Amino acid sequence: MSLIRPSDHKLSDQKPLVVLKNAGVRRNGRWLVRGVEFSIGRGEIVTLIGPNGSGKSTTAKAAIGVLKPDEGWVERQPGLKVGYVPQKLAIDWTLPLTVERLMTLTGPLKAGEIADALSATGISHLARAEVQHLSGGEFQRALLARAVARKPDLLVLDEPVQGVDFTGEIALYDLIKSIRNRTGCGILLISHDLHMVMAATDTVICLNSHVCCRGTPQAVSQSPEYLKLFGSRAAKTLAVYSHDHDHTHLPDGRVLHADGSITDHCHPDDGHHHGDRADEGGDLDHSHGPDCGCGHHSRLQGFDTKERDRA
Amino acid sequence: MLDDFFIRALVAGIGLAITVGPLGCFVIWRRMAYFGDTMAHSALLGVALSLLFDLNLMLSVFLVAAGVSLLLLLLHRRGALSTDALLGILSHSTLSIGLVLVAFMSWVRIDLIGFLFGDILAVSRADIDLVWGGGILVLFAIIYLWRPLLASTVNHELAEAEGLQPQRARLFFMLLMALVIAIAMKIVGILLITSLLIIPAATARRFASSPEIMAVLASLIGVLAVTGGLFGSLHFDTPSGPSIVVAALGLFVLSLIPFGRRAAGGAMTHPTSGGQH
Ligand SMILES: [Zn+2]
Ligand SMILES: [Zn+2]
Ligand SMILES: [Zn+2]
């Protein structure tokens, strides 16, 4: 499939759309997130996962310039056009807003562009409906259509499948993938699910006030158990992500490190992480083995019980 | 026969109603009624300062109202107090300081009731020029700021992410509010300015299918309310401000009767917190 340039202006094809380097955001004397490093290139999908309050939205907002990092830096290509679907969007009942009018909220569009975006998201029939009357899934589609219609270079989707049932979730992920394939835009996706991500994801970044681990998802088809659980259609869309942590987040918010020490915070430079930023590759994770001696293979189970309860 | 003063009040009132329509819509969409009220109450402090330092009345009202709104934004951003408490403190303290100052100035004769509730007798030719001149300025500014204001009303961060500079739009919006308060003071009075902003806009909601239509309808309904209110004020010898508000309320109630579909507007939050699975 040929990649159509998402917008008229010229952005470099070589450089990433956005780069975060050791980025941290601090509020009221507390680091919401710290030491975040990643980049998103054209056509690339990066998924942020982590428990509630782990700094996923903060990280996304820093990436698109809504929040300024208090540490490190964020580099965006000049003229980068962003399409944003925020996590929470409350539209007061007193505001009369149809789906069609929502499309041109932040910029003018041609009638054909609106129609294309609505039909791509499967809500052409809702063009005249007031947004306050839509169901959760319809509203997410309308928000997605709005963000896509402006032909962004970078699409930022903060929990786009919230309030959507499982079938709807699969359909939305398929839609997001087809948008990427058709327009070649970069996508930063935030998911509330710690273990299932979009199969088309290139990089998964697991956050809990810092980058806990990162990697690529594994196809569900390799795991007969998941295949049975989700069915073959979902298996094409979703993938499993296995965590690989060199530390554990305790229920009180402190962090237990590989060397047995406990600290209030955890970030790459705190000296408790072995082999993270020392090897200048910037790769924060490392693979554990039985002989690695860190003694806390939290992986899926550990993450589940300790961090989900807190969420 | 209508007297000259009444024609003047009518012309000024209609100009004002057209001006405040779109602004009033933003006040209710953004849930800023209390905020607007606080700014309006500070106008009396502006009146007192204008008398004390012999400044132009509208200018000093504008400056005080703008100053109060900036102070509110600043305090709110620093998270010193909840917005609600801040508004309550500023709203009534500026009003009271104004009243106390005016009471101290025994050497000036001032029609306090006129400032608080509006006085059609007080509308001069110069006031008409100011209302229409200021009104046209406000309308052009609102049209120019429409997209960023509307987008940030839906979601501030969305507007920011997509390059609309909502912060700047909000600052200008505050200044426009201060300007409207300065020009509305004589006609509806300090205590009732916000109701002229809110009631026609709320009435328009029922008949509007888009934000733009609602803004235009709010202006038209405002014109009806001002006209009806001023005639009532003349006929029953009541203060102009309350008469206009009563007329506006009448229209609002009328708009409810034939269409009993939805009574009050609660905010609908979309989407409800995501389903866990
Ligand atoms: Zn961690
Ligand atoms: Zn992880
Ligand atoms: Zn280890």
Instruction: Read off the pLDDT of residues A39-97 as tens digits, 9 standing for 90 and up.
Output: 999 999 999 999 888 999 999 999 999 999 999 999 999 999 999 999 988 899 999 99
* Best to test chain B binding among A95, A128, A169 (most B CBs inside 10 Å): A95
ipTM of the complex: 0.84
Q: Which two tokens stand for residue B50?
A: 């204008």
Does the beta carbon of A161 lie under 8 angstroms from any beta carbon of chain B?
yes
Q: Which of B147, B157, B271 is closest, CB to CB, to A162?
A: B271
Q: Which of B150, B209, B276 is closest, CB to CB, to A105?
A: B150
Ligand whose nearest atom lies closest to the CA of A213: 2
Confirm if B176 and B38 have CB atoms less than 8 A apart: no
User: What residue ranges do the domains of chain A occupy?
Assistant: 18-81+152-304, 91-151
State the Rg of chain A over Cα.
20
Question: What pLDDT, on a 0 to 100 scale, did the predictor assign at position A250?
Answer: 86
Q: Between β-strands A186-190 and A154-158, what pairing exists: parallel, antiparallel or unpaired?
A: parallel
Confirm if B158 and A84 have CB atoms less than 8 A apart: yes
pLDDT surpassing 70 at residue A20: yes
Mean per-residue pLDDT for A132-144? 92
Q: Which two tokens stand for residue A106?
A: 């932040």
Question: What pLDDT, on a 0 to 100 scale, did the predictor assign at position B103?
Answer: 86
Nearest CA in chain A to B204: A94
Nearest CA in chain B to A163: B274
Question: What pLDDT, on a 0 to 100 scale, did the predictor assign at position A9?
Answer: 59
Rounded to 10 deg, the angle between the A166-183 and A136-149 helix axes is 10
Output B61 or A246, whichever has higher pLDDT: B61
Cβ distance of B158 and A84 shorter than 8 Å: yes
Cβ distance of B160 and A163 shorter than 8 Å: no
Kindly report the nearest CA distance between residue A278 and chain B, in angstroms.
Answer: 34
Does the beta carbon of B165 lie under 8 angstroms from any beta carbon of chain A?
no
Kindly report the nearest CA distance between residue B176 and chain A, in angstroms.
Answer: 20
pLDDT > 70 in chain B, percent:
91
pLDDT > 70 in chain A, percent:
81
Report how far residue A42's alpha carbon sits from residue A189's, in angstroms, rounded to the nearest whole number: 14
Nearest CA in chain B to A103: B151
In angstroms, what is the span from residue A260 Cα to ligand 3's centroid? 11
Rounded to 10 deg, the angle between the B43-53 and B83-104 helix axes is 30
Residue among B18, B64, B51, B20 nearest B178 (CA): B64
User: How does residue B214 score in pLDDT terms, banded at 50, 70 and 90?
Assistant: very high
Domain spanning B4-274: CATH 1.10.3470.10: yes
Cβ distance of A163 and B274 shorter than 8 Å: yes
Question: What pLDDT, on a 0 to 100 scale, did the predictor assign at position A281?
Answer: 34
Cβ distance of B272 and A105 shorter than 8 Å: no
Mean per-residue pLDDT for A239-254? 86
- Spatial neighbors of B210 by CB under 8 A, at least 6 apart, are A96, A97, A98, A101
Q: Which of B154, B266, B271 is closest, CB to CB, to A140?
A: B271
Q: Name the one residue in this structure whose structure tokens are 């900036």.
A: B70
In angstroms, what is the span from residue A189 Cα to ligand 3's centroid? 28
Burial of A274 (0-12, 13-18, 19+ CB in 10 A): middle
**Chain A contact set for B151 (CB, 8 A):** 105-106
Question: What pLDDT, on a 0 to 100 scale, did the predictor assign at position A141?
Answer: 92
Kindly report the nearest CA distance between residue B162 and chain A, in angstroms.
Answer: 6
Q: What is the pLDDT of residues A159-207, one digit of tens each?
A: 998 878 888 888 889 999 999 999 999 999 999 888 889 999 999 999 9
In angstroms, what is the span from residue A62 Cα to ligand 2's centroid? 21
Mean per-residue pLDDT for B87-114? 86
Does the beta carbon of A192 lie under 8 angstroms from any beta carbon of chain B?
yes
pLDDT surpassing 60 at residue B39: yes
Cβ distance of A163 and B275 shorter than 8 Å: yes
Output B219 or A227, whichever has higher pLDDT: B219
If you write DSSP's letter for every residue of A196-216 in order, what string do you get? EEETT-SEEEEESSSEEEEE-
In angstroms, what is the span from residue A269 Cα to ligand 3's centroid? 16
Confirm if A144 and A156 have CB atoms less than 8 A apart: no
User: How does residue B80 score in pLDDT terms, banded at 50, 70 and 90?
Assistant: low
* Best to test chain B binding among A89, A94, A135, A165 (most B CBs inside 10 Å): A94
Which class would CATH give A18-81+152-304?
alpha beta
pLDDT surpassing 60 at residue A270: no
Does the beta carbon of A62 lie under 8 angstroms from any beta carbon of chain B?
no
Burial of A227 (0-12, 13-18, 19+ CB in 10 A): middle
Does the beta carbon of A229 lie under 8 angstroms from any beta carbon of chain B?
no
Kindly report the nearest CA distance between residue B165 and chain A, in angstroms.
Answer: 10
Question: What pLDDT, on a 0 to 100 scale, did the predictor assign at position B87?
Answer: 85
Report how far residue A5's alpha carbon sits from residue A284's, in angstroms, rounded to the nearest whole number: 32
Cβ distance of B275 and A162 shorter than 8 Å: yes
**Chain A contact set for B211 (CB, 8 A):** 95-97, 101
User: How does residue B258 score in pLDDT terms, banded at 50, 70 and 90?
Assistant: low
A98: three-class secondary structure by DSSP: strand
Question: What pLDDT, on a 0 to 100 scale, did the predictor assign at position A21?
Answer: 95
- pTM score, whole prediction: 0.83
Nearest CA in chain A to B202: A94
In angstroms, what is the span from residue B105 Cα to ligand 2's centroid? 70
Cβ distance of A136 and B205 shorter than 8 Å: no
Q: Which residues pair with B188 in a beta bridge?
A: none
Q: What's the one-letter identity of residue A206?
A: C
| A226 backbone dihedrals φ, ψ, rounded to 5° | -65, -40
Residue among B111, B97, B101, B118 nearest B53 (CA): B101
Question: What pLDDT, on a 0 to 100 scale, did the predictor assign at position A294?
Answer: 32
Q: Between β-strands A89-91 and A154-158, what pairing exists: parallel, antiparallel or unpaired?
A: unpaired
Question: What's the half-sphere exposure (Cβ side, CA atoms, 13 Å) at B110?
Answer: 23
Kind plus residue range of the DSSP H or E element containing A145: helix A136-149
The least confident of A260-264, A278-282, B191-195 is A278-282
Does the beta carbon of A146 lie under 8 angstroms from any beta carbon of chain B?
no
pLDDT surpassing 70 at residue B168: yes
**Chain B contact set for A90 (CB, 8 A):** 267-270
Output A283 or B157, whichever has higher pLDDT: B157
As a whole number of Å, the end-to-end CA separation of chain A is 41
Confirm if B87 and B38 have CB atoms less than 8 A apart: yes
Mean per-residue pLDDT for B113-142? 89
